[in-house]
Structure 1
């Protein structure tokens, strides 16, 4: 690892960068702010996120990744370049980079990620699928002939996979995740309270009182929004039981996806999963009661991995140790690409 190899969890909501020998060194929202007229990059990450929905006409704050894939190639490349510059102190050698991608990614989307990595300053770019990285990061030994089920709920996609012998046996990737939960809150508040709230308020609601399973004690929070009747600001209270109602549709879609993967999984591996349980990773898994909801629907013990948000980044980082095997083509990751 002479040239400080880098692992990147290229997430819709946030980007985590793992540097070999140092661990996770950068954790920033995947947001960029640029000047409309000059095209100049003004801010990246946390500082750009604070501008979302608050910029004047000549400045635009955007999220260049949508639903797990690149929606604005140029901005993604510039954002990656900025983050790589932040974590590499000297650039005598270009680093090799492992980038994490959703399991349902197309070849065109794959090529876009590889190209963006190369343009951002990588010597070589390798791709690893999110569920594989999440399993490694959660401390699962994926090399054994033993079935493990991973449910990785990120910002743009939810990846559900059954892993055995270092490969994905059965998987699905759906575009229902953290962003869709935020949207569900905005729609619900609009329909129920006739008030319009922004994305940041919706996310705050989700994190503070959001739940998909009844809490032992009802919780409530006071929020501000714009009344659609009068057009004036309005303060009102939202409860945790309302959150369950708001999240019903996206949560059901994720449950159906888990059920579908289990149905397609060979019976021997289903037996292993029943013993080993279902492991949840990603920021979305921290939504209160998600593990309880899955357990109540599948009858399989479900638990959230330690440091669930960083699991994919740690797994991507640990896969740096086998980059030599990747080049030799001896590691059996279900989807592995490299580019000189």
Structure 2
């Protein structure tokens, strides 16, 4: 019986290491961690102390002394702060241990489709330093394709656009092989920054990116009010001219205007990818549509805006934020069948 239980909890871990959020899937248990990619760091006399990670780190900000800051250890989907990333992964992996404990887990980590060899090696070395028995890498949109249930092993092209926090990634697969994979460093964070710029320019009001993200979630849309969401939100920030607090009201149409630039950049990115495909593969995708995954796919009417702009139907997957980690779990569970999809460190 003990052997059966041990078999159910194989020491395989799949990690969607994202700019905004990190998700961890453990074989036999499913997704057990879905938290912000964040570390609370206290600096004192040139030294840095890692206090908390994930949700706990985010909750500390504003409730602790000024020398504690929230560090986002990843930028554009790759490691920007090695020490903070290692601590975040160490604590997340520590939480994955069952009552039997892991010996030395196999770990599969997702990276942007066009991560450089240096960036891939940084992710690989970090996982190795945590005691992994074996480390594998896979491109985020490739994992997203499997997690979305696309027929990647069948003849004919299938295309996914995975919109995360730091990057938007495209993968085109046909007959189980990668036809095309590319990365655009415009995604959810760029949308937040566009909202910050718009409010500064139109209202001379300074708001933080956390507030901008809330605006995007609550009233954001890729289309003007006539076709998209019609709602409004009250926000408060610092008046850049007077220096005092000030409140304004933003409508969905305002946010659609603010997001026009990143949405257009995303549309051009997809358009170029489609234009570079062989005619037969392009015909398959035109018939099947383009599948949207990642947190950015949840932007209201983004699928409709891209469909109108490009002329190919876009579809948002169910639970798009979990597609990458689900696909990663499928790959590590059947490595022999999916080995050709892996990236070199």
Question: So what's the TM-score if we normalise by structure 1?
Answer: 0.94
Kept after mapping to 1: 8 A contact 2:107/2:127: yes
Greater Cα shift, 42-51 or 93-102? 42-51
SS at match of 2:256: helix
Write out per-residue CA displacement over residues 269-312 of structure 1, whole angstroms, 9 at most, x where no aligned residue: 01100111110000001001110011101221211000001110
Question: What CA distance in whole angstroms lies between the structure 2 residues aligned with 1:92 and 1:283?
Answer: 31
Query: How far off is 1:58 after superposition?
Result: 2.0
Distance change (3 Å), C-alpha of 1:7 and 1:92: closer
Greater Cα shift, 91-100 or 213-222? 213-222
1:101-112 superposed matches below 5 A: 101-112=111-122
Which residue of the partner structure matches residue 225 of structure 1? 237
Question: What CA distance in whole angstroms lies between the structure 1 residues aligned with 2:298 and 2:177?
Answer: 26
Query: How far off is 1:163 after superposition?
Result: 1.3
Q: 5+ residue gaps in structure 2?
A: 1-6
**Partner of residue 21 from structure 1, selected from 23, 28, 35:** 28
Which residue of the partner structure matches residue 139 of structure 1? 149
Query: How far off is 1:191 after superposition?
Result: 0.4
Query: How far off is 1:248 after superposition?
Result: 1.1
**Partner of residue 267 from structure 1, selected from 279, 288, 300:** 279
Question: What CA distance in whole angstroms lies between the structure 1 residues aligned with 2:232 and 2:126?
Answer: 43
Greater Cα shift, 109-118 or 211-220? 211-220
Which residue of the partner structure matches residue 81 of structure 1? 90
Question: What CA distance in whole angstroms lies between the structure 1 residues aligned with 2:119 and 2:63?
Answer: 31
Distance change (3 Å), C-alpha of 1:255 and 1:92: closer
Q: 5+ residue gaps in structure 1?
A: none
Which residue of the partner structure matches residue 194 of structure 1? 204
Which residue of the partner structure matches residue 48 of structure 1? 57
**Partner of residue 124 from structure 1, selected from 134, 138, 154:** 134
Whether 2:124 is the aligned partner of 1:114: answer: yes
Q: CA RMSD in A?
A: 1.6
Query: How far off is 1:42 after superposition?
Result: 0.9
Kept after mapping to 2: 8 A contact 1:78/1:120: no
Question: What CA distance in whole angstroms lies between the structure 2 residues aligned with 1:92 and 1:232?
Answer: 54
Distance change (3 Å), C-alpha of 1:246 and 1:82: same
Kept after mapping to 2: 8 A contact 1:132/1:167: no
Query: How far off is 1:192 after superposition?
Result: 0.3
Whether 2:335 is the aligned partner of 1:332: answer: no
Whether 2:17 is the aligned partner of 1:6: answer: no
**Partner of residue 81 from structure 2, selected from 72, 80, 85:** 72
